[in-house]
Structure 1
Amino acid sequence: MAYEEASYKDKKVISIGVVSELTGLTERQIRYYEERNLIFPERSPRGSRKYSFSDVETLMEIANKIEDGVQTFEIRQEMIRQNGKEDQRELRKRMLRGQLNAQFGIQDK
């Protein structure tokens, strides 16, 4: 399996203060969404949270849903369902690739 470098959108380089400015959420709201397992920042060696552009987009989606009256528990359940669908798609792709490789005698590296 080839090593794939993370897209610039997925690199965790943005501080919580900048994320707060970009999203309009307070730092406390952002930490709360982390506590509710809706967002997963990385930590720097000094313990500072680092976010990606994808995290910023996710936070905006969460804020919109909260504004529409959706509870954090419901958002989390939707995220779990979505991740399950993506995992199933990836598994199907790997199985199909394996079948094609076997059919044509290609060795996976």
Structure 2
Amino acid sequence: MNIDIENLPDDPATLKKMLSQVMSRYQYLEEQFRIAQHKQFGQSTEGHPGQGELFNEAEALAVESDTQEETISYSRKKPTRKPLPKVLPREVIVHDISDEEKVCGLCR
């Protein structure tokens, strides 16, 4: 629906009819937008009534069986990294800055 704003009719009945059409179109589009948002972001359920009770055999067996507690005690070794061989050459490099650069501009 394309309405020319510059050439609207002067008849109030015609204007009311046009406004009613615009409002119904707006409500339709708003509903379509709400449905699209629900499809994209809403909760989706693929279940059917009674579907939750289909696979309760394990829970029924667990309730029927006696529960036994088992205590396990053991200790694990913490993984450690092997040191590098002593024959590898070692080189110490110290990167230092001047004393003026060690203090920031706010601390002076």
Higher relative contact order (CA 8 A, sep 6+): 1
- Structure 1-normalised TM-score? 0.29
Q: Which has the higher strand share?
A: 1
Q: TM-score, normalised by structure 2?
A: 0.29
Q: Considering only CA atoms, is the larger Rg found in Structure 1 or Structure 2?
A: 2
